[in-house]
Structure 1
């Protein structure tokens, strides 16, 4: 797993996880205070949204867990059990 709040996420890691879960939108915790207090939902361009998201890791859904090229966002113990 990635300690998002203390370390953040590199752009490469972000791109890899985004691809594994089906898009960066799935990484956003829209119920978080950080998201609600941000301007993320009002930004028009994907690049601007990604930059804002990387600047404020409190907007990520957690946990983000990786296993090779696979990744999950949120609590997914049934998926994790299938990983070897």
Structure 2
């Protein structure tokens, strides 16, 4: 397995995801969205895997002004604004190759060792 966890250091679910893989002895790479972020290619791959940018968008993010802006932008501009402001992306995003999940989903991660 080639696990990548995209998350934020203060996110409780990101810490739970790290602990999940650590307890099972699975190596993973943690990518801090507040420091590094994800490239456009990674974003597109994850977006496709989870079912669209709407699945990545955190409507409960701290910056509610930015959330409101994205909601009222033209459809074609929303995705670009979300990619620019990755602090509005739900975490953790856990990826194993081309498969990805958003949020804490151990029931799905358990099936990955069978791939």
State the match for 1:33 in structure 2: 62
Match of 2:74 among 44, 50, 55: 44
Please state if 1:15 is matched with 2:31. Answer: no
Larger radius of gyration: 2
Larger helix share, 1 or 2: 1
State the match for 1:68 in structure 2: 97
Gaps of 5+ in 1: none
* Counterpart Cα distance in 1 of 2:90 and 2:34: 11
Superposition deviation, residue 49 in structure 1: 1.0
* Counterpart Cα distance in 2 of 1:64 and 1:5: 13
Larger strand share, 1 or 2: 2
Question: Between Structure 1 and Structure 2, how many residues are aligned?
Answer: 82
* Counterpart Cα distance in 2 of 1:71 and 1:26: 11
Dislocated runs of 4+, deviation >4 Å: none
Name the SS of the counterpart of 2:109 in structure 1.
Answer: helix
* Counterpart Cα distance in 1 of 2:75 and 2:59: 18
Tell me the TM-score normalized by structure 2.
0.67
